[in-house]
A and B are shown apart, each in its own frame.
Chain A
Amino acid sequence: MIHKFSMDGINIVMDIYSGAIHVVDDIVYELVDYYKKYDKEKLINKFKGKYKIEQIKEALEEIEELEKEELLFTNDLYEEYLEQFEKRNPIVKALCLHVTHGCNLKCKYCFAGEGEYGGNRALMSAEVGKKAIDFLIKSSGNRRNLEVDFFGGEPLMNFEVVKEIVEYARSIEKDYNKNFRFTITTNGILLNDEIQDYINKNMYNVVLSIDGRKEVNDKMRYTANHKGSYDVIVPKFKKLADSRNQTDYYVRGTFTRENLDFSEDVLHLADLGFKQISVEPVVAPKEMDYALKEEDLPILYEQYEKLAKELIKRKKEGKGFNFFHFMIDLTQGPCVAKRLAGCGSGSEYLAVTPEGDLYPCHQFVGLEEFKMGSVFEGIKNKSMQKQFQSCNVYAKEECRNCWAKFYCSGGCAANAYQFHKDINVPYKIGCELEKKRIECAIYIKAKLAE
């Protein structure tokens, strides 16, 4: 499978099954479409009015060489290979702990329903948290690296319990030959020096929620009294990011139909001094006025391109920053099993409610039919775990034929369910945006390699 695109005068040809990416001139860019269909003579005849015959011959030789080296027109080797992973007994290696369903913000777009997941403002007890750690250790087989994300609601509203859980996990990890990596996702309202120190000592990553420009952020992210969060959180986030030497954190925002010019928000965050930035499209029910629509795609594509160009410019000036969705490792990225197997939700990644119930991921919490068990009794609904485990790119018709499958891993099961009531039917707008981001990420690599 080949995917090709042109951006800003740069022609890219991707050989999907080898992972090879080529920057090519106009002749090769045209020839690859016909190379497998026509013989050499016919190709020369077809293009001789546009290019010199010698040039065409030379280009064809180079294409032939790439094919011999298995860097072009390679075949899919992975479907059967993936089956062996699916036959494994599922293990759990990551938990998203909803340490509270209460929140001190009432963000308009929150998938948790203003932080509360359609339920009450429950707080997780230390007992439930510790049981979750025990469950994770017990369910993780021989995986050493285990991840726990403190999530909410707003996890700083139950920070004493966060600390107890961390201390408990640390106290037993060596006995079981495990290595816990903790992360926390916070809106920042309650951040202070003491919490910052604790986070820096104990958290592998921290995700700081902010949408960008003040007016954009405050329109969506506000308190019960409709007071925007921007002025409160910006100084705290800046301080925290600096205290972590501008690494191992993300400022993370959501863009909606209210700010289709979201590249301005990314750049605003960069101008504030943040070096690790993630701003993502909202996933919202169609009827909401801020939900993205298919007709918005062209403007969003433009925004990603604009952002990519600005990022290159800033990198060349020594003022670069990382944009999460433009980061791509072309040399030592994840293995093919990881790329094809899906995000792991419902099989190796689960969410835990304040009461200790298990769900396939944080976005399924509150949908009773997806309750899989609890940290006390373990996974009761094994068939659901299997169903999620087999939700890989080959299980989805649209993914199987998509060039982006090695980059997105089949997309988000929760998004798919929200739009199609089927975890195996991807959410179209999400797919289109993902594809554009991958193209931009590759374009950036090509441009910086010039």
Chain B
Amino acid sequence: MKHVKTLNTATLKKSMAKSGCGECQTSCQSACKTSCTVANQSCENH
């Protein structure tokens, strides 16, 4: 494409297939404790 550069593939829909196992880290246990960010958490299924 000349006008568009896509940085990633569509991950959200695909993730529904193996979603919700809950083995990943609880967001607040990482570093925050006063805010909430999930996009930087890693998935235990990968």
A24 and B23 alpha carbons, distance in the complex (Å)? 36
Q: B31 and A250: CB pair below 8 A?
A: yes
**Which of chain B's residues 1-46 have a Cβ closer than 8 Å to chain A?**
1-13, 15-16, 18-46
Give how many A-B residue pairs fall within 8 Å (CB-CB).
224
Residue count of chain A within 8 Å CB distance of chain B:
93
Residues of B within 8 A of A183 (CB): 29
**A330 located at the interface, meaning its Cβ lies under 8 Å from any Cβ of chain B in the complex:** yes
Which residues of the partner chain A approach B45 to less than 8 Å between Cβ atoms? 335
In contact, A207 and B31 (Cβ under 8 angstroms): yes
Neighbouring B residues of A412 by C-beta, 8 Å? 34-36
CB distance from A82 to the nearest CB of B (A): 9
CB distance from A36 to the nearest CB of B (A): 17
Q: Are B26 and A94 in touch, CB under 8 angstroms?
A: yes
A401 and B13 CA atoms in complex are apart in Å by 19
Does B38 lie within 8 Å of A338, measured CB to CB? yes
Is the Cβ of B22 less than 8 Å from the Cβ of A91? yes
Q: Which of A139-147, A304-312, A368-376 contacts B (4 or more CB under 8 A)?
A: A139-147
A329 touches B42 (CB 8 A): yes
Contact B37 A434 (CB under 8 A): yes
Complex contact A23–B24 (CB within 8 A): no
Q: Complex formed: what's the CA distance from A150 to B25 in Å?
A: 15
Partner of B3, one of A58, A145, A342: A58
**Residue on B with the closest CB to A77?**
B13
Interface residue from A111, A343, A446 paired with B26 (Cβ < 8 Å):
A343
CB of A370, distance to nearest CB on chain B (Å): 16
Chain B residues with Cβ below 8 Å from A185 are: 33
Cα A169 to Cα B26 with chains together (Å): 19
Determine how close the nearest CB of chain B comes to the CB of A217; give it in whole angstroms.
17
B27 & A329 in contact (Cβ 8 Å cutoff): no
On chain B, the residues within 8 Å of A438 by CB distance are: 39
Q: Are B4 and A23 in contact (CB-based, < 8 A)? A: yes
A328 interface residue, CB < 8 Å from B? yes
B39 — which chain A residues lie within 8 A by C-beta? 328-329, 333-334, 339, 406-408, 438, 441
The interface of chain B, by Cβ under 8 A from chain A, is 1-13, 15-16, 18-46
Known: A21-B6, A335-B18, A343-B36. 19 other contacts (CB 8 A): A18-B13, A20-B10, A62-B2, A81-B16, A143-B22, A252-B31, A276-B31, A283-B35, A324-B30, A334-B15, A335-B16, A335-B20, A336-B12, A337-B19, A348-B26, A362-B33, A408-B37, A408-B39, A409-B37
Residue pairs across A and B with Cβ atoms less than 8 A apart, 22 shown, are A18-B12, A20-B6, A20-B9, A20-B10, A22-B4, A22-B7, A23-B7, A24-B3, A28-B3, A58-B3, A62-B1, A93-B26, A250-B30, A329-B39, A329-B42, A333-B11, A333-B38, A333-B40, A334-B24, A338-B20, A344-B26, A349-B26
Smallest CB-CB A-B distances: 5 pairs: A337-B20, A18-B10, A327-B40, A19-B12, A335-B19
